Amino acid sequence: MKTIALISTTGGAGRTMLTASLAVLLARLGREVVALDFDPQNMLGAWLGLDSLAGEGISRALTDASHAWHERTWRNDEGVLFVPHGQLTLDEAAASAARLAADPQWLARATGEIGLADTGIVLIDTPRYPSPHADHAARAADLVLCICAPEPAACATLVAHLAALRESCADVQLVVNRLNPAREMQRDVLAMLRVAAGAPVAQRIHLDAAMPESFARGGWLFDEAPHSQASHDLHGLAQHVDAWLPALTASEPS
């Protein structure tokens, strides 16, 4: 089993959308997939098919040691096993943050309890980095996909925090989301990001205005507009991750 954390250093980068899309596309490729929401905004379930925000989830185990977080999981129509974050009061959120600060390996142990095959994958959605939740996700991950919008402020923030991210996880790969090649500034920022980060951009996801509409209808852009550039990009990201994972055997789905 491998674990991937999707992390960004700014809000609105599209982490949750990419986590959900990647989970579904990898499941369609025959992978066992767990999508774990470690973001207190608790929104991953909405992308994966829940009609309302999950009340209980993995966060309860942070405030109540007797709570079995794996009893609050749910499997969507695509076969993705979803672990919600759950809703917390302000006092519970403070207690949750204190628990994470006191136990840096808490999430790593929790994900270690997930009994997937070697070819399975756990995808972790996170809040904005730096934060206790995002740092825990990076430390628990075999790979961090760092999501960045091609904007000057977003790239500058990413570069400022990249060294700390690489200390938490040895394998950090950059994914640029919502790329609009018609904007010359974005092309310049992309070139600057490659130089400043000292690493190539692993994948690029183009901007598509139909994405929110697909979400509102409860569908997926790659189903409703399969020939769009963004759909092609999302499939490319899934194939990139699939190739990074151990190969499926003949006895496993493909």
The tens place of each residue's pLDDT in the chain, 254 residues long, gives 999 999 999 999 999 999 999 999 999 999 999 999 999 999 999 999 888 888 788 998 888 776 777 777 889 999 999 999 999 899 989 988 899 999 989 999 989 888 899 999 999 999 999 999 999 999 999 999 999 999 999 999 999 999 999 999 999 999 999 999 888 889 888 888 888 888 778 899 999 989 888 988 889 999 999 999 999 999 999 999 999 999 998 666 55
Name the region of 123 (left: φ>0; alpha: ψ -120 to 50; beta: rest).
Answer: beta
The pTM assigned to this predicted structure is 0.94
CA distance 83 to 124: 9
CA distance 195 to 200: 8
Token pair for 41 = 């905004």
CA distance 60 to 247: 35
Question: Side by side, which strands form the sheet with 172-179?
Answer: 74-75, 81-83, 33-37, 121-125, 2-7, 143-148, 172-179, 201-206
Q: Say what the pLDDT of residue 26 is.
A: 98
Tell me the three state secondary structure of residue 91. Answer: helix
Tell me the three state secondary structure of residue 36. Answer: strand
Q: Say what the pLDDT of residue 251 is.
A: 60
All domains of the chain in start order, with CATH: 2-244 (3.40.50.300)
Q: Say what the pLDDT of residue 252 is.
A: 64
Residue ranges with strand state E in 8-138? 33-37, 74-75, 81-83, 121-125
